[in-house]
Amino acid sequence: MEVIKLEKVSKVYGTKVKVTALQDIDLSIEEGEFVAIVGPSGSGKTTLLTIMGTLAKPTSGKVYVYGNDVTTMDDDELSKVRNSYIGFVFQNYNLVERMSAVENVELPLIARGVSKRERRETAMRILETLGLGELAYKKPTELSGGQQQRVSIARALAQNPKIVLADEPTANLDSKSGETVLKTFQQANREFKTTVVIITHDPDVASYARRRVHLRDGRIERID
- Note the pLDDT tens digit of each residue in 22-40: 999 999 999 999 999 999 9
Q: Is the pLDDT of residue 112 over 90?
A: no
The average confidence (pLDDT) of the chain is 95
Residues constituting the chain = 224
How many CB atoms neighbour CB 7 within 10 A?
A: 17
User: Measuring CA to CA, how many Å separate 166 from each of 59, 153, 223?
Assistant: 23, 9, 19
* Distance in angstroms (rounded) separating the CA atoms of residues 190 and 136: 22
Tens digit of each residue's pLDDT (9 = 90 or more) over 125-141: 999 999 999 999 999 99
Domains of the chain, earliest start first: 33-56+84-223 (3.40.50.300)
The residue type of 71 is T
Please say whether the beta carbons of 202 and 29 come within 8 A. no
pLDDT (0 to 100) of residue 87: 95
**pTM > 0.85: yes or no:** yes
Q: Residue 179: is its pLDDT beyond 90?
A: yes
Give the rounded percent of residues in the chain with a pLDDT score beyond 70.
100
CA dist 160 → 65, 113, 216 (Å): 16, 14, 33
Summarised one tens digit per residue, pLDDT across range 50-89 is 999 999 999 999 999 999 999 999 999 999 999 899 999 9
Residues 200 and 96: their CA atoms lie apart, in Å, by: 25
